Amino acid sequence: MQTTNKKLGERVLHAVLYEACAMALLVPLAALVMQRDMLHMGALALMMSTAAMLWNMVFNSLFERVERRFQWRRTAGVRCLHALGFEGGLVVLLVPLAAWWLNSSYWQAFLLDLGFFVFFLPYTYVFNWLYDHLRERFVARRSLSAAVE
């Protein structure tokens, strides 16, 4: 599958879908594990989600430039590199935020982030794989419809 230039609107859609699906799965689980109410964890999730969406758009844009520059194909190895790079950047952004919001140490926030990492690493891989395949089908159907008209 070749990468294509994506417009800002599609990047926003991708990021919003990614975060909305993740929050629907993660907020109830985090509230249960952290023994915090859903509203408190939901607010943290919203703040983290906002930061992650911005990072998602920036990181994906940069990563796709690297893909084009080196003519990479989205193999399993490239997808793993993508997921690791994305999640590594999030650690730097989100640990201080979680420590502040939960009034905890950076170590405790880091451990929480490790738990999120265990969730998000496979989630990122699977979500982007599904998104790319659904997008490819959508683009192919759109091209076929345009050719028929």
10-45 burial string, b = 16+ CB within 10 Å, else e?
ebeebbeebbeebbeebbeebbeeeeeeeeebbebb
Average pLDDT over residues 47-63: 90
Could you tell me the two tokens for 104? Answer: 């905890």
CA 128/CA 137 separation, integer angstroms: 14
Looking at the structure of the chain, the number of domains it has is: 1
In a domain, 129, yes or no: yes
Considering the domain boundaries, does residue 3 fall inside one? no
* Residue 149 pLDDT: 67
Whether residue 1 is contained in a domain is answered as no
Structure tokens at 69: 């520059």
**Global pTM exceeds 0.85:** no
Chain centroid to CA 10 = 14
Residue 2 forms part of a structural domain: no
Indicate if the pLDDT at residue 67 is higher than 90.
Answer: yes
Say how far apart CA 98 and CA 123 lie, in whole Å. 20
Residue of higher predicted confidence among 149 and 74: 74
82 Cβ neighbours under 8 A, 6+ residues apart: 63, 124, 128
Domain assignment of residue 128, yes or no: yes
Question: Which residues span the domain enclosing 94?
Answer: 8-148
| Distance in angstroms (rounded) separating the CA atoms of residues 97 and 124 | 21
Angle at 118 (CA atoms; ends 28, 29), nearest 5 degrees: 10
pLDDT band, residue 97 (cuts 50/70/90): very high
